[in-house]
Amino acid sequence: MLLVKIGSEFFAALVVLVLFSGIVTTFERNIKNNCLMVILIANFLMLILDAVTWLLEYNGMVNILYIIFTISSVSLLYITITAFNYYIYYYLCEKTYVSVWVGHFGLPICIAGIFMWVTSPVHEMVFYIRDGVYIHGPMYAFSQLLGASVIFFDFILTIKYRRKLEIPDFVAIISYMVLPLLALIVTMNIPQVGSLLIYLSVTLSILMVYTFIHVQQSMELKKKENALTQERLNIMMSQIQPHFLYNSLNAIYYLCTKDPEKAQEAIGEFSDYLRGNLDSLRTKEPVPFEKELDHIKNYLALEKMRFDDDLMVVYDIQAKNFKLPALTVQPIVENAVKYGVGKSPDGGTVTISSREYDDRYEIVVDDDGVGGYTESKREYDGRSHIGIQNVRERLRIQCKGTLKINSEIGRGTTVYISIPKVTD
């Protein structure tokens, strides 16, 4: 029986030590979690000291050292109860307004309990030693009820503010209070189990609280990551939308002086395009490649009016049944026209092709313009430019895609977009 008692408490202490390490390394540092750390430290020491008292009692060493360890372990239990009362208070303060006295409720009561135990060797009201035997005094039950009253107060408080708590948190907090109370009732009726059941029930409750808190923090972290990702997409799409409109209107601007009739025709086409496809400029979800291809064709039709025979366009589309972030390929095509063919005195050809492979879809945008393109190469013209990094980042976030560039001076630029196939 002794080995079971000591072994179970040392094992529980080891569990508490692991939980403490988890809080130190993964939990956010705030006053609420600091209370949880105090609970774990106190519970760890409490378990170790109680195991030592069992060992001393078994070896007939119920002496001064035994008394010190007993008082210390019980005092640590009161500290644990006080810290949890503060934990409940600070937790509820994050959800709603709670009066300050609620947080301090357990402190004077637990101090009174500690005082009773510390002075008991003098007045023998809580416990005393007779002929090497540990005996409960007449006020022992009252000393236990002091701690129980704080736990019961926290229980009532949790029930009162239950609508402010998440269900997992509510269950975890209730378990922390219910299990020790049940253990106390059993201990009062079966004194021979001693404090073992109470200490182990506290440890089990702490484990449940830790688990639920850890799960909640993981969920909150995931929500924050998703929100940040969505915000990044919003920012990037806000960059792309005016960029697309600017490039289309810029093509019409050149036509106004070069060929007013074509400019008028281009305005009509652009107006029809906006009426039918403006939603695609605002979408944050992947779109079918065919829809992206329609945007590209509309844009290139406008540029074709501006460049005439200086711009040739070749489509080699062999795969369409996949999705990608909206306006992913179009900025690449715009760069091919502006920085590739547009800079070449003899014009050139822009080729857009797509292929399907076993593990991915691939889109290639190739131009035989001036080449030598880099993402940082931008000639100052008084206008803002969207970077390839924007496209690369949206590919990574929305479909784990990649973008690679191969550019040689005098030979042109080739951009490879790879979209992994989704596997169930």
Q: Rounded to the nearest 5°, which phi and psi values hold at 224? A: -65, -40
pLDDT of the residue at 380: 36
Sketch out the chain's domains with CATH numbers: 2-223 (1.20.1070.10), 259-420 (3.30.565.10)
pLDDT of the residue at 415: 94
Question: What's the chain's length in residues?
Answer: 424
pLDDT of the residue at 356: 94
To the nearest 10°, the Cα dihedral for 213, 215, 221, 224? -100
d(CA 202, CA 81): 10
pLDDT of the residue at 219: 65
User: If DSSP codes are grouped into helix, strand and coil, which group holds residue 161?
Assistant: coil
User: If DSSP codes are grouped into helix, strand and coil, which group holds residue 342?
Assistant: coil
Within 8 A by CB and 6+ apart from 201, the residues are 179, 180, 182, 183
Buried b (16+ CB within 10 A) or exposed e, 196-229: bbbbbbbbbbbbbbbebbeeeeeeeeeeeeeeee
Nearest to 351 by CA among 300, 406, 420: 300
pLDDT of the residue at 112: 95
Angle between helices 196-258 and 260-282 (to 10 degrees): 170
Please give the sequence-ordered ranges of beta strands (E in DSSP) within 114-273, or none if there are none: 127-130, 133-136
Tens digits of pLDDT across the chain (424 residues): 667 667 777 777 777 787 777 777 776 778 888 888 888 888 889 888 888 887 888 788 888 898 999 899 889 989 988 998 998 898 888 888 889 999 899 999 999 999 999 999 999 999 888 888 888 899 988 988 898 898 889 888 888 888 877 776 677 677 766 776 676 666 666 655 555 566 667 677 766 666 666 666 666 666 666 655 555 555 445 544 555 567 667 777 877 887 788 788 778 767 765 654 555 556 667 889 998 888 788 778 878 877 878 899 999 999 999 999 887 888 889 889 888 888 888 889 999 999 999 999 999 999 998 888 766 554 434 333 456 777 888 888 888 899 999 988 888 999 999 999 876 5
Q: What is the DSSP string of 74-96?
A: HHHHHHHHHHHHHHHHHHHHTTS
Structure tokens at 352: 């857009």
d(CA 264, CA 267): 5
Number of alpha carbons in the 13 Å side-chain half-sphere of residue 350? 29
d(CA 134, CA 63): 10
pLDDT of the residue at 384: 39
Is residue 386 within 8 Å of residue 232, measured between CB atoms?
no
Question: Cα 163 from chain centroid?
Answer: 24
Question: Cα 165 from chain centroid?
Answer: 19
- Strands 311-317 vs 348-356: parallel, antiparallel or unpaired: parallel
Eight-state DSSP code of residue 421: P
pLDDT of the residue at 276: 46
d(CA 27, CA 196): 29
Hey, which residues does 135 pair with through a beta bridge? 128
Is residue 236 within 8 Å of residue 398, measured between CB atoms?
no
Structure tokens at 357: 């492979």
pLDDT of the residue at 32: 82
Task: Fill in the amino acid letter for 111.
Answer: I
Is residue 334 within 8 Å of residue 247, measured between CB atoms?
yes
At residue 343's C-alpha, the angle toward residues 388 and 381, to 5°, is 65
Task: Fill in the amino acid letter for 29.
Answer: R
d(CA 400, CA 386): 21
